[in-house]
Amino acid sequence: MQVSVQGLKRLLRWLASAALVLGLLVLLPRLVIEAQWFAQFDALTVVLRRWLFQCLAFALVLGLGLPLQLQQLRRCWRLRQEAPRKQLRERPLAPLASGPLVAVLTGLLLLLVMGLSYLFLQARGLILDPFGGEVITGLSVLADLPPALVLGLAVVLLPCLLRWPYSTLRISLAAALAGSATACARGWSLWLPGLLAVPFGEADPLTGFDLSFTVLRLPALHLLVSLVIAQVLIGFVGCLWLTFSEGTSLTDLRFPGLSREQQRVLQPQLAVLALMAALSYGLSPFDLMVEGSGVASGAGFVDLHIRLPLRLLLALLLLMSGLGLLVPVPRSWFRRAAMLPLLVSACLLPIVEWGLAPLVQRVWVQPRELQLETPYLRRAIAATRRAFGLEAVRELDLEPKQQLSAADLKSAEGTLANVRLWDSGPLLEANRQLQQLRLYYDFPSAAVDRYPLNADASALGSQQVLIAARELDSSALAKGSRTWLNRHLVFTHGYGFTVSPVNVSGSDGLPLYFVKDLGRSGRVQALPQLGQSQKRVEQFLP
């Protein structure tokens, strides 16, 4: 067994070294290009300062997380080694028979895999889009996890956990911390504005806090809470796996129960999870103002009268549970005051979110929705007006006096001659029938432009035209022609364009063209209806 463990460690060291080298090969060119881009605007110090903050965040997460998590895992491993000699009271806590033990170990494996997947997914999302501002929290995490990743990790981790539990869990914790540190470093666009936020001078209508907290500090808190919960959950699951698989538990499919020493080791992690969950639910007033389910943006009647009080109650119960796990109290009091709120919280959450709130919305709110939601509609409208600066808009009543004279019409000859008769929609439809010329071409849009085609430009002004580019539509290629050569080397771009006057049409109602057709048959021509010379048209439309 010692040889196998040493071989596994050597393999893991080699894989870690290879991953580090590969990461540097991918990261260094990106950093060089980013530095050069900032340097051309004399802002190299800006990106260097940002890199410094990111490195500090990465080092802080690893520097705090690794010792704490590995030390906690080491304690559980030491107690696992002493399992044959542990002392249990007459009625031990959490004894498990064969069926419950298999179910618990399966659940722990799934929690470990989902925690790792979540941290990898969070880090990947922030790497690809650090300015997206999206932090995956709540029960929606389960829907966002890729099933293939979860299943693949479970298949890889299960035999390793059964064969080398301590080494596998240490590696899993290190990988989770690397994901957390990466997500924290790349999440600088969330926590750095929160650290540097200045007051907006506008109070939140629900909490009274300055809106800078909701806009800038709330996303940073969500990122912090989500990463801490995921990281502590992985460490807690690892400790539980070592505990429940100790001694002959796997061979006998029976766990005798938790000793007092094991309970004392597990309590801090459970307390941190309870406190972080309490903080997450304590942010509900701000979350509902941003993501409420009212008829307008923000919190509605059901959010403020059903969801908010019960979420705050859950936060209070979880806070009591966390403090009860941390503060030394008598055994009987601990059971009633610490464990009972946890059970109540776990039962109330799905009932409130999926049962009670929708029921109240349908039965009580919808029949009198306008009456109940009016205060929140007014608040949303007022906030929208302030956000867009509409409160500073002045309303003026204009009374135009139409006193056009013959002299005015004569002086505006160029404007009247350029009155637009063609819209881009009908013109593009006509172009697709008259000027598409190949199945794989299309006219997606048209733009308005002006050219001095008139001989008397001072009087008539510039000629207004519609220009439509003949673009390539590769989806129109025949199936047999959709080869790599055709798609990447032959059919790569459009060809030519049309130029049409906006103020005349042909005798058949179709558009006329200054520029039409393509290839050798392409023509640039003057239009007799507008009195423009061929030479001048060719000069300005070569």
Report which DSSP code applies to 298.
Answer: S
Q: Which residues of the chain have pLDDT under 70?
A: 1-9, 11-12, 16, 132-143, 294, 328-342, 345-346, 457-460
Q: What pLDDT, on the 0 to 100 scale, is given for residue 329?
A: 61
How close are the terminal C-alpha atoms of the chain, in Å?
82
How far is it, in rounded angstroms, from Cα 332 to Cα 341?
Answer: 14
Residue 494, SS3 per DSSP: coil
Strands 463-469 and 471-472 turn out to be unpaired
Please list, in sequence order, all residues whose beta carbon lies within 8 angstroms of the beta carbon of residue 31, skipping any fewer than 6 positions away: 51
Q: What pLDDT, on the 0 to 100 scale, is given for residue 379?
A: 86
How far is it, in rounded angstroms, from Cα 216 to Cα 444?
Answer: 41
Please list, in sequence order, all residues whose beta carbon lies within 8 angstroms of the beta carbon of residue 142, skipping any fewer than 6 positions away: 114
Q: Exposed, middle or buried, 83 (CB in 10 Å: 0-12/13-18/19+)?
A: middle
Cα-trace Rg, the chain: 35
Please list, in sequence order, all residues whose beta carbon lies within 8 angstroms of the beta carbon of residue 491, skipping any fewer than 6 positions away: 440, 472, 474, 477
Report which DSSP code applies to 479.
Answer: G
Could you count the other beta carbons within 10 Å of the beta carbon of residue 64?
A: 12
Pull the structure tokens for residue 524. 């640039």
Q: Exposed, middle or buried, 88 (CB in 10 Å: 0-12/13-18/19+)?
A: middle
Which residue is listed with tokens 């032959």? 490
How far is it, in rounded angstroms, from Cα 57 to Cα 186?
Answer: 9
Pull the structure tokens for residue 32. 């060089």
CB hemisphere CA count around 45 (13 angstroms): 1
Cβ atoms of 239 and 265 within 8 Å: the answer is yes
Q: What is the pLDDT of residues 488-504, one digit of tens each?
A: 888 888 889 999 999 88
Which contacts (CB < 8 Å, 24+ apart) does range 303-310 have? 304/206, 304/376, 305/360, 306/352, 306/356, 306/357, 306/360, 307/352, 307/353, 307/357, 308/284, 310/348, 310/352, 310/356
Q: What pLDDT, on the 0 to 100 scale, is given for residue 360?
A: 83
Pull the structure tokens for residue 124. 């990947």
Q: What pLDDT, on the 0 to 100 scale, is given for residue 336?
A: 56
Sign of CA dihedral 288, 279, 240, 147: positive
Q: What pLDDT, on the 0 to 100 scale, is given for residue 250?
A: 85
Sign of CA dihedral 476, 482, 488, 491: negative
Cβ atoms of 495 and 515 within 8 Å: the answer is no
